[in-house]
A = this chain, B = another copy of it.
Amino acid sequence: MSAGNDAVRVMEVGPRDGLQNEKALLPPAVKIELVERLGACGLPAIEVTSFVSPRWIPQLADADQVLGAICRRPGVDYPVLVPNLQGYERARAAGADSIAVFTAASEAFSQRNTNASIAQTLERFAPVIAQARADGVRVRGYVSTVLGCPYQGEVAVAEVVRVATALHQLGCVEISLGDTIGVGTPAKARAMLRAVASQIPMAQLAVHFHDTYGQALANVLACLEEGVRTVDAAVAGSGGCPYAAGASGNLASEDLVYMLNGLGLHTGVDLSALAATGQWLSQQLGHPNRSRTGTALASQ
């Protein structure tokens, strides 16, 4: 690992990016238990839910209730996704002190996914981010479709750099670069990250891979070699790909932590507790555990 930095921050996105792509509608109590169990595993950051309208994401319609009920561990970051100023105010009323905003590097994806151009999403985020900064609220920015788009196919690296830089200039303290449909491979992931890191300090970048084609962990490895030290993942590989029915979802946190342990990179995460949480969540979701490490540890 080239960065001379042996600590990796795992951003657990299962309660948000995982659950919003699952068919099952879990009751709020299960989501609250999930977040609290993840906190007990030692994860430093847990994305709790989304304040996008329940019309679009019925799985997370209970965002206020869940965010309001979780016991928060000192020092742990609990961001929630907000789509606009109205969502921000809802999130704040429910107790949010960390948020995330979400746009795309693909114009076609932005139009189809949010019914707005990339420029319009950035305009919408400007007052949200300004207000958050005034409130002392941490802001993470997501750039999706960084390695490919289900509608337009190829996405230019220059567009990823442009959108990431715009979010950074608006005040996002962390930019998560997301391969939303999981089509990327290691050399492309590395080149994309390197290009973004030419404009934004690596310490403010995160990578976010989906395992649709089984490439997620190899992509992470390439990006770790490039110096990234924040990695998004979802316990039990929860989620899925709306563009490939039956396909795998997010990179499984357990598989990530297993690799990081083997690489001598420290996470502070208790892998046994994480694997147990993934097994429990898979039972709640009613399908097999999509984490290979989780499945292997459960069989021992």
Contact = CB atoms under 8 A, between A and B. Distances in A.
Interface of A: 1, 182, 184-188, 211-215, 217-218, 220-222, 241, 244-248, 252, 254-255, 258-259, 261-264, 291-293, 295-296, 298-300
B292 A245 contact: no
Contact of A188 (B214, B241, B262): B262
A222 B263 CA distance: 12
A215 B261 CA distance: 12
Contacts of A182: 296
A215 B217 contact: yes
Contacts of A185: 258-259, 261-263
Given A222-B221, A292-B212, A263 B299 contact: no
Contact of A258 (B215, B293, B295, B298): B215
20 contacts: A184-B262, A185-B261, A185-B263, A186-B262, A186-B263, A213-B255, A214-B217, A214-B255, A214-B293, A215-B259, A217-B217, A217-B218, A218-B220, A241-B296, A244-B295, A244-B300, A246-B295, A246-B298, A246-B299, A247-B299
B259 A186 contact: yes
Please indicate which of the listed interface residues A186, A254, A258 has the most CB atoms of chain B within 10 Å of its own CB.
A186
A241 B246 CA distance: 24
Contacts of A299: 244-247
Contacts of A188: 262
A245 B296 CA distance: 8
A1 B241 CA distance: 30
A214 B252 contact: yes
B292 A247 contact: yes
B259 A291 contact: no
A292 B262 contact: no
What are the 6 tightest A-B residue pairs by CB atom distance, in nearest-first order?
A: A185-B262, A214-B292, A214-B255, A247-B296, A213-B293, A217-B218
Contacts of A246: 295, 298-299
Contacts of A298: 246
B211 A264 contact: no
A292 B258 contact: no
